[in-house]
Structure 1
């Protein structure tokens, strides 16, 4: 039987290739997901570990390490050097430009230095600094130039005294590069002498503690022995880990996104494999139908039912192994190409040069792909065992389910569908009532159960939907009526094919709808959280933003409007302090994204956020008295505000603090997602030489949109996978239909139906099956997407439901095109059959 099985596979190469492509795509998806998750994990761990350079161990833990703890670590036998991980912030001023930059002390051992010197050297004494190359370019610095570090020091003995401006003149001795992204999240790092760093930290009141200590060992020291000694000499609960171990723990604690990403994409891959299983089942049904006479002859010469079933399963196993191995190669190749492209694009993230092949990466796709293929072939294998030596000498109609099994399936599908949707509604209600964690769990479970119910019961209702749509199309002519009748001839096969597309489209529509709703809701939440797009805040001793800065920001291309605002300090009658921001409500209306921010702001009114109301013991509607810094008083009516800070009108601010000056600017931009405007504003204020800070919702919104866009990019990839696999399934269904209807096709040709009309008949069948599956999938996906958004985003406030009409239209058009393309090969096969030859088949 094995030789016969291999011979049959050789004769059915074309048909098996279609099923092989389906499983290849699914396993390639799994392999690519595992490899991509590994790359993300390695990239994150390498970025964290890069800060520790070539150190042997990193001392960490929940506690901070005091200077005496670092001394105790240095005294351990086998320790060559130890250095606390510290950093400070410097305001580097050169000419009229100022740049805020993180700085680290020069390392005491070269093994602690993750930076590379581009030109010059690291500081060797006080008064020296090495700066990142981009900072040197921005400030126009060269080796030997002077740059000032502007600091403000407060006199702790006189709390009411103003801060004293201190300027440390530093000599640029080197420029730096950060090749491994050790300080990428902090915008790079300058290097100063250890003496200067310690002096500045002491003046700022820093106690000299550090969250971690890097350790370098002697060449002949035993890592495990020294590790044990270090733990004994360190504070309780301290840890001693290699940089890689420390990075893995830090990544798990801070950014579990890689695992979440991997699990989500693996869920997508699982869906792709389910769709592939339906396609494979249809493919083997086609093969069994084609081999009906062969199977009957085998039964006639003595082959038993078990041998026929074993032949089909063996064929499926061979196909699954070969296709899965090919999918593994394709998936690894795609990830490797993506790595090369990403490295060439210089994304600013240290990426590995090659993918890492692990046993899991090899075994999981191959085993899963083979298992799915064999599982999908069980039903066709059973069909092969039912072939009778006498009855199967010609293709027989597909078997119909008995009434008992039909009733059981119907009841089970109804219970799952109704119960699942009820649980989904309960999850939405729980999420919107303040329990998103429980609600999300209930929603996911309810959505899964209801979708299983929908798919399980599709055989009962989907053919009827196809029939209704077909009857509407039947008015266009006899070809449409024939196409509708043919789709209903075998309801089970039509249902299986349409369900394959329905699954993929439902997931795509769900993710697109959820992402669109998330973007709309998160944008609205950002509008409420941040009153304006960009905020320029005075960062000097007095916090003033001078008029030249206002003019510079106003002149930036992409800036729409600029409104000055003033930060005040006032006390309530009970001594509680408030820090309201004063703006002109008429001018502010032109820059705020959310009108609720300044709703109700008018002279004599103090808008107070809900949290501050509780802390200050204020009640909405009451009148209270504010006392300014110079003793002036102002009576105001308390109102509830939606901003994170209290708000006053500029008119009231002048009465409360006549000498108050502009301390911040509210800036609106033409395009709220354009982060280049923020960089342009930073450049403009740097030219002024005034210490100010630039923050705003534009950066937050861009980061949020980047996450959502990444999710949508993944969905687009899934759409491509689902469409390709569904196309194969529709093509297989139409091929089997062509085999079963050879006589019918010949009769139609004999009475005058042209080849073109016969091909168009099959095209209409393909588009009808694909179109109905796509429309139903879109409807289900929108419902699931809305439910997920309502549950997961309820804590943000009101959830905005959105329908991604463009994505929906693309899905529908692609599905119809896929149905049409799937009919091309079967249509040509049917058209090539001559009427005489087909009528001669018996």
Structure 2
């Protein structure tokens, strides 16, 4: 039986080719994902480890302490740095200061990855003449005073800046012009990932990123023979409260874990799409083996007649599946390794910098690829294998095995109806839950499976709707429609593969279009301001930005929006500082109690959820602990319904600012004379020095920035889902090729009684078109339903969410399904048309 199984595989190489391709694509996606993410993780981990080679112990503020004030622990004082330098076992102690610094290229645009554009200090030691062991100067000298900087060599190479050049940069808003005095090498992981690092002298860095005499971190290098653990214990003896000492090895391990966690999200997302491709491939595999079993009815019956047991017949079919799965998995693994290498190169070509390192093929990737390929193929072939075992020996006397019984169809339809009904009920119930993501996901899965099981039942009435159109094609159209419903199970399996891909694509498109509409509506309803000014990476803005804008003649109203963490009772709440006098002219809020008149002095306005949680109403008073530890008492002057742009406790900046360690704003709302216009926007940008790190956005810009993110995300998802569509195309080709082979005698007879080659091609093409459109209609319908249901969950957090049905795109998706049908039919139709009539008629 084993030899028989191998012989059958070799005898049906062409028929199994599409199955092999379907499995191979899915496995290649899995292997490519695992290789790509493992390679990135290893490269970044190695780069990060290099960055900690000069760090034996790091002293830093302890943010994990439960006793910290809302503002968090303070930076480290110079006195602590001096004390660590005197400790036995310390070879070198360096005070580090760091923060955000946006560098403009020669074209005026932001250089680097935005959030990875960092600034720091070059520490020249206690006497000012030493070298900083963290950075190796390769050109020029270290910055020594305000107005001087040093650039990392990677950034210098990308931008073309060199020693002596003057560059434009921004730290928290205002544009600064600095002279490059040196270029240095660094193993910093952010730089390796495509970011930038700008170094200032220590005094300037403290002024920009901290406070005079304060450090973000103290880095210690141990003397020869002193271990990291030993040095850490020595340092802990002199540490103040809310400070901690961490070994360099711990920092490297933490960084490696963080990188691994970041890769995990990417890996999971890519594997989900690989799983979708494999799930779609299951239908093709099951379809192929079902048709192979049906075509070998006499052969299987003869095996039973000469003594083969049911178990042996089942095993022979499963052995074929194992062989096919193993071959496909092996090819898929090799293709996946190539995909992993290609994705890494693609990232480089798109401008993302990846640290150097080898291509990593882990044992887990190899085992997972082989197991997935073989397991999916065997699982898909199991039902056809069981069906093969049920072929009675007497079937050897006939050329056709008994068709499916009415009882079998009733059972199938009943199971399908129960699954689809349960899935639909679960999805509908989830729309009314606070957190219904898991129930909705489970319901969606049940509904898709239920519809798949019911597809043979649905195929006849749905395909019958195409009859009027098919009549236009004459005899070929009528024959194509009849052929499409002749074997409903095969049609269902073929259409289901396409249905799943289009369900996901349509659902995602409906959600994205609706979210975009909600964002547009939110920007229109929540803002009266003409412009929102913010940092490009959404870091805090310098108060100088606010002052500069206030001085402009065209500005008629202005309000910052500052964020500050406070403690109210046992809970932490964010306070939002605004201009109490002019905020009502810049924002639109729906008040349930009070109005903007309640905002000013010690009187605040609060969103309804926060007020409900604390039991507040207009006139309620409460005690607050500000971020500097000072206490105060505030009064609720109004309660409003929150939205995505406005939420929390809002109070006048005159009350909040004295309690802030550093006065910054997340945004500045601006109204201009005559409203938003290109001239007003240009005037504001010019006033801010055409800063590459600062965004000046009107309502349309806010909406477009969200639209760009949504479009980018959708395009990525479309690209990933294209794999499932490719697999679905293979399924249609496979089904048609098998169908043409099975109907060889019939096609020969049709040719003999007058159907010409063109009519034969048209018949096969129309059959493919009908099956593909059937899958497309089901997919678009399910996608719209799932898009609506998911939108009900989203609307809880985005009140302005509004369902949008993108008719044009859905029409494109149906056209895509039709195109799939046309392309998939090219080879089978050509093969059918070129059959020899006499040879076909003689075929059994």
Partner of 1:503: 500
CA distance in 2, matches of 1:464, 1:237: 72
CA distance in 2, matches of 1:274, 1:811: 20
Which deviates more from structure 2 when the two are superposed, residues 393-402 or residues 231-240? Answer: 231-240
Partner of 1:160: none
CA distance in 2, matches of 1:715, 1:563: 42
CA distance in 1, matches of 2:20, 2:171: 67
Check whether the contact 2:28–2:334 (CA below 8 A) recurs between aligned residues. yes
Q: Please say if 1:721 is aligned against 2:723.
A: yes
Partner of 1:535: 533
Q: For residues 360-382 of structure 1, what are the alpha-carbon distances to aligned partners after superposition, in whole Å with 9 as ceiling and x for unaligned?
A: 22211221111001111122223
Partner of 1:312: 317
Q: Please say if 1:821 is aligned against 2:827.
A: no
In the alignment of these two chains, the number of paired residues is: 746
Alpha-carbon deviation of 1:478? 2.7
Counterparts in 2 of 1:104 and 1:828: CA distance versus 1, 3 Å: closer
Partner of 2:766: 764
Q: Secondary structure at the match of 1:796?
A: coil
Partner of 1:418: 421
Check whether the contact 1:512–1:804 (CA below 8 A) recurs between aligned residues. yes
Within-5 A mapping of 1:619-658: 644=646
Which of 439, 454, 457 pairs up with 2:436? 439
Which of 87, 90, 95 pairs up with 2:98? 87
Partner of 2:375: 371
Partner of 1:656: none
Q: For residues 201-246 of structure 1, what are the alpha-carbon distances to aligned partners after superposition, in whole Å with 9 as ceiling and x for unaligned?
A: 78x577x363x54343445444555566666776687644444322
Check whether the contact 1:734–1:826 (CA below 8 A) recurs between aligned residues. yes
Q: Secondary structure at the match of 1:80?
A: strand
Which deviates more from structure 2 when the two are superposed, residues 713-722 or residues 314-323? Answer: 713-722
Partner of 1:275: 280
Counterparts in 2 of 1:72 and 1:779: CA distance versus 1, 3 Å: farther
CA distance in 2, matches of 1:840, 1:542: 89
Alpha-carbon deviation of 1:251? 5.5
Counterparts in 2 of 1:360 and 1:702: CA distance versus 1, 3 Å: farther
CA distance in 2, matches of 1:718, 1:519: 22
Counterparts in 2 of 1:566 and 1:345: CA distance versus 1, 3 Å: closer
Check whether the contact 1:682–1:694 (CA below 8 A) recurs between aligned residues. no
CA distance in 1, matches of 2:150, 2:41: 30
Within-5 A mapping of 1:515-530: 515-526=512-523
Q: Please say if 1:106 is aligned against 2:98.
A: no
Q: For residues 314-373 of structure 1, what are the alpha-carbon distances to aligned partners after superposition, in whole Å with 9 as ceiling and x for unaligned?
A: 2211211121121122122123123223223433x4455554221222211221111001
Partner of 1:751: 753
Alpha-carbon deviation of 1:766? 1.0
Alpha-carbon deviation of 1:770? 1.0
Check whether the contact 1:488–1:494 (CA below 8 A) recurs between aligned residues. yes
Check whether the contact 1:505–1:722 (CA below 8 A) recurs between aligned residues. no
TM-score by length of 2: 0.74
Q: Secondary structure at the match of 2:802?
A: coil
Which deviates more from structure 2 when the two are superposed, residues 801-810 or residues 389-398? Answer: 389-398
CA distance in 1, matches of 2:372, 2:426: 31
Check whether the contact 1:512–1:715 (CA below 8 A) recurs between aligned residues. no
Which deviates more from structure 2 when the two are superposed, residues 356-365 or residues 239-248? Answer: 239-248
CA distance in 1, matches of 2:431, 2:30: 31
Within-5 A mapping of 1:328-727: 328-347=333-352, 349-352=353-356, 354-392=358-396, 395-397=399-401, 399-401=403-405, 403=407, 405-430=408-433, 435=434, 438-470=435-467, 473-474=470-471, 476-526=473-523, 531-535=529-533, 539-540=543-544, 543-545=547-549, 564-567=556-559, 579-580=579-580, 582=582, 611=606, 644=646, 665-666=670-671, 684-685=686-687, 687=689, 694=695, 696=697, 704-705=706-707, 707-727=709-729
Alpha-carbon deviation of 1:509? 1.5
Check whether the contact 1:290–1:739 (CA below 8 A) recurs between aligned residues. no
Q: Secondary structure at the match of 1:802?
A: coil
Q: Secondary structure at the match of 2:221?
A: strand
CA distance in 2, matches of 1:814, 1:746: 32
Counterparts in 2 of 1:429 and 1:113: CA distance versus 1, 3 Å: farther
CA distance in 2, matches of 1:771, 1:149: 55
Check whether the contact 1:26–1:269 (CA below 8 A) recurs between aligned residues. yes
Counterparts in 2 of 1:788 and 1:168: CA distance versus 1, 3 Å: closer
CA distance in 1, matches of 2:463, 2:102: 69
Check whether the contact 2:761–2:833 (CA below 8 A) recurs between aligned residues. yes
Where structure 2 has 5 or more consecutive residues not aligned to the other structure, the ranges are 66-72, 112-116, 535-540, 562-575, 620-636, 653-667
CA distance in 2, matches of 1:840, 1:140: 80
Q: Secondary structure at the match of 1:391?
A: helix
TM-score by length of 1: 0.74
Which of 198, 201, 204 pairs up with 1:190? 198
Within-5 A mapping of 1:206-221: 208=214, 210=216, 212-218=217-223, 220-221=225-226
